[in-house]
């Protein structure tokens, strides 16, 4: 541990502001704000250098699963460290990566039989795109080189992943650098033009999906989507039956299906993977975030024997998948992932999740009493509360109102760390949260939004 002078909160803040450029952050505002420097974590709590504690309401950006300082994961990493922390995966293999691949294949659908490792969700998606593209080329279908995606999608920040994304607020500026895609309208029930009835939204959005596939299937290599819930899009959930129909249509039109379960994977929706809700098997599956329980950066792209085999050939045929990162299949991260997955069984995480999901659902209903709450959406232990200027007309707040930021800042003051997605307040606590802790998180969130609402109405 460093000596106490180095931990002086004021000096730490000063140094941060002097040297660091934070992700997704307007640094001009950061410079002017009081910032929080985290010193430790315990269970579902974060603690800052001043000793103030915060409920980790967004699982340290959607990745924490069992809480912080989980003895089993800590120990697994320490054990591995006593062996080796890293060796390359190019030309070598390692024990934790082998064990983890077996485990991943065991817990995902049967026909996913191959695991390709990387370090982040963006890369896992990017790899799926490249595999799909190269697959068709090597199968002789050279025209299949485009991708279909859902509007408002978020699949990461590297340029390939941004190309299949659709959040203009983040990515509009990079337009000239992106490849062209075919957008399919996201089944956003709250703001669907012809009304919010789930059956209507499902029918009309799927009809549009089918139209895109029918007209362009000869050029479309793959359709990429988050199953069940588009997270970073603002927690947009899909009507039941949507993902199975997407699977049928992609099969019918000979288009590969890529599921991005970076956010929805590892118990988040109440099942280990969101695809289990409708027993759908994609051709490629991207996982990351919860994979290591929120401990270390690790991601994986799983695929079928059919896709894998298309890359087999003689050296000089150049069918190899030329992709890899320095830290691919890092042993510490793989060991953490193994410990994380073991804990699901040991602690019966999914069984204990059921009542928490029900409790969250029930408590979320009361949020409609707040005049600025327009819509509340939930799948499993992921929820979004959309704030609007007018409940009746659904008119959004102007961007400069920074309503999401303001509401979540209030929550932080009250002891719950939350982050918004635009005007949507996100609740995404670690799965290991107790019902009491969840209740406290909801109390704080309610108070924060309610106070914000009162202040607006008083104006
Ligand atoms: C977070 C996220 C990503 C990107 O993952 P990173 O690890 O941040 O690169 C991709 N897809 C989805 C659905 C995500 O939620």
Q: What is the CATH number of the domain that holds 80?
A: 3.40.640.10
**Residue 156 CA to ligand 1 centre (angstroms):** 5
Evaluate: CB of 155 within 6 angstroms of ligand 1.
yes
- 309 and 393 share one domain: no
Tokens, residue 61 = 């950006």
pLDDT value of position 3: 59
| Residue ID of nearest Cα to ligand 1 atom 15 | 263
- Residue 26 CA to residue 402 CA, distance in Å, equals 13
Distances (CA, A) of 40 to 46, 149, 299, 384: 6, 39, 24, 27
Evaluate: CB of 231 within 6 angstroms of ligand 1.
yes
Residues 6+ away with beta carbon under 8 Å from 91? none
Closest atom of ligand 1 relative to the 122 alpha carbon = 9
Mutation choice for ligand 1 from 60, 227, 232, 286, CB with most ligand atoms inside 8 A:
232
- 184 and 53 share one domain: no
Evaluate: CB of 149 within 6 angstroms of ligand 1.
no
Tokens, residue 15 = 């140094």
Evaluate: CB of 128 within 6 angstroms of ligand 1.
no
- 283 and 367 share one domain: no
Angle between helices 349-365 and 331-346 (to 10 degrees): 80
Chain center to CA of 38? 22
**Residue 161 CA to ligand 1 centre (angstroms):** 9
pLDDT value of position 1: 57
Residue pair 156/165 in contact by the 8 Å Cβ criterion: yes
Closest atom of ligand 1 relative to the 61 alpha carbon = 1
- Residue 117 CA to residue 139 CA, distance in Å, equals 24
- Residue 206 CA to residue 240 CA, distance in Å, equals 12
Domain end position, chosen among 287, 321, 346: 346
**Residue 102 CA to ligand 1 centre (angstroms):** 23
Closest atom of ligand 1 relative to the 120 alpha carbon = 7
| Residue ID of nearest Cα to ligand 1 atom 8 | 121
Evaluate: CB of 349 within 6 angstroms of ligand 1.
no
- 229 and 368 share one domain: no
Nearest to 46, CA basis, from 18, 69, 19: 69
**Residue 299 CA to ligand 1 centre (angstroms):** 10
Let me know if residue 430 belongs to a domain: yes
Tokens, residue 42 = 């315990």
Nearest to 108, CA basis, from 284, 354, 360: 284
Residue 241 Ramachandran class (φ > 0 left, ψ -120 to 50 alpha, else beta): left
Going by the DSSP 8-state scheme, the letter that residue 228 receives in this structure is S
- 279 and 254 share one domain: yes
Domain end position, chosen among 346, 374, 403: 346
Evaluate: CB of 166 within 6 angstroms of ligand 1.
no
439, burial (CB in 10 Å: exposed 0-12, middle 13-18, buried 19+): middle
Q: Exposed e or buried b for every residue in 330-350, given b needs 16+ CB within 10 A?
A: bbbbbbbbbbbbebbeeeebe
Mutation choice for ligand 1 from 64, 119, 122, CB with most ligand atoms inside 8 A:
122
- 224 and 305 share one domain: yes
Residue pair 446/366 in contact by the 8 Å Cβ criterion: yes
Q: Can you give the CATH number for the domain in which 358 is found? A: 3.90.1150.10
Identify the three-state secondary structure at position 379: strand
**Residue 8 CA to ligand 1 centre (angstroms):** 34
Let me know if residue 25 belongs to a domain: no
Total number of residues shown for the chain:
459
Identify the three-state secondary structure at position 78: helix
- Residue 202 CA to residue 196 CA, distance in Å, equals 10
Report the DSSP pairing between strands 220-225 and 146-150: parallel
Angle between helices 435-458 and 349-365 (to 10 degrees): 20
Tokens, residue 364 = 């979320």
- Low-confidence stretches of the chain (pLDDT < 50) are none
Evaluate: CB of 121 within 6 angstroms of ligand 1.
yes
Going by the DSSP 8-state scheme, the letter that residue 158 receives in this structure is S
Let me know if residue 158 belongs to a domain: yes
Let me know if residue 342 belongs to a domain: yes
HSE-up of residue 400 (Cα within 13 Å, Cβ side): 0
Question: Which own/partner contact pairs does 25-28 have at CB distance under 8 Å and 24+ positions apart?
Answer: none
- Residue 328 CA to residue 223 CA, distance in Å, equals 26
Q: What does residue 284 show for φ and ψ, rounded to 5 degrees?
A: -140, 140
pLDDT value of position 168: 76
Distances (CA, A) of 445 to 231, 319, 380, 386, 393: 19, 52, 18, 13, 24
Let me know if residue 24 belongs to a domain: no
Domain end position, chosen among 326, 346, 366: 346
- 357 and 338 share one domain: no
Let me know if residue 373 belongs to a domain: yes
pTM of the model: 0.97
- 332 and 205 share one domain: yes
Let me know if residue 12 belongs to a domain: no
Domain range enclosing 236: 73-346
Q: How many domains does the chain have?
A: 2
Angle between helices 71-81 and 331-346 (to 10 degrees): 150
| Residue ID of nearest Cα to ligand 1 atom 11 | 155
- 248 and 279 share one domain: yes
**DSSP codes of every residue in 260-323:** E-TTTTTTTTSSSSGGGGTT---SEEEE-GGGGTTSS--EEEEEEHHHHHTT---GGGT-S---
Closest atom of ligand 1 relative to the 119 alpha carbon = 7
Cα-Cα-Cα-Cα dihedral sign, residues 265, 336, 1, 430: positive
């Amino acid at each position: 541990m460093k000596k106490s002078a180095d931990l002086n909160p004021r000096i730490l803040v000063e140094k941060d502001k002097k040297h660091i450029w934070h992700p997704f952050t307007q640094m001009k505002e950061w410079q002017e704000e009081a910032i929080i420097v985290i010193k430790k974590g315990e269970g579902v709590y974060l603690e800052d250098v001043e000793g103030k504690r915060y409920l980790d309401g967004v699982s340290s950006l959607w990745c924490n699963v069992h809480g912080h300082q989980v003895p089993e994961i800590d120990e697994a990493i320490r054990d591995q460290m006593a062996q080796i922390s890293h060796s390359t995966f190019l030309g070598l293999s390692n024990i934790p990566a082998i064990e983890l691949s077996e485990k991943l294949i065991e817990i995902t659908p049967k026909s996913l039989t191959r695991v390709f490792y990387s370090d982040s969700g963006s890369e896992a998606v990017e790899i799926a795109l490249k595999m799909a593209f190269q697959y068709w080329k090597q199968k002789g279908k050279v025209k299949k080189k485009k991708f279909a995606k859902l509007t408002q999608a978020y699949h990461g920040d590297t340029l390939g992943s941004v190309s299949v994304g659709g959040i203009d607020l983040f990515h509009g500026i990079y337009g000239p650098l992106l490849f062209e895609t075919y957008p399919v309208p996201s089944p956003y029930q709250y703001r669907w033009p012809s009304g919010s009835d789930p059956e209507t939204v499902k029918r009309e959005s799927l009809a549009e999906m089918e139209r895109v596939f029918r007209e362009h299937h000869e050029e479309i290599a793959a359709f990429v989507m988050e199953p069940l819930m588009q997270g970073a899009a603002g927690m947009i959930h899909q009507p039941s039956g949507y993902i199975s129909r997407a699977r049928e249509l992609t099969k019918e039109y000979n288009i590969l299906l890529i599921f991005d379960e970076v956010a929805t994977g590892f118990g988040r929706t109440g099942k280990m993977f969101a695809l289990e809700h409708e027993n759908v098997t994609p051709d490629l599956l991207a996982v990351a975030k919860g994979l290591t329980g929120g401990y270390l950066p690790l991601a994986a792209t799983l695929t079928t024997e059919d896709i894998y085999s298309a890359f087999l050939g003689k050296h000089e045929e150049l069918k190899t998948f030329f992709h890899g990162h320095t830290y691919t299949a890092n042993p510490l991260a793989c060991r953490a992932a193994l410990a994380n997955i073991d804990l699901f069984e040991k602690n019966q995480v999914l069984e204990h999740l059921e009542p928490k999901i029900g409790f969250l659902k029930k408590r979320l209903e009361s949020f409609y009493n707040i005049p600025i709450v327009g819509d509340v959406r939930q799948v499993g232990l992921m929820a979004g509360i959309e704030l609007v200027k007018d409940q009746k007309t659904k008119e959004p707040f102007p961007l400069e109102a920074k309503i999401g930021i303001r509401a979540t800042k209030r929550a932080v003051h009250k002891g719950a760390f939350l982050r918004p997605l635009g005007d949507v307040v996100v609740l995404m606590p670690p799965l290991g949260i107790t019902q009491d802790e969840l209740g406290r998180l909801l109390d704080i969130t309610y108070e924060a939004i309610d106070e914000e609402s009162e202040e607006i109405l008083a104006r």
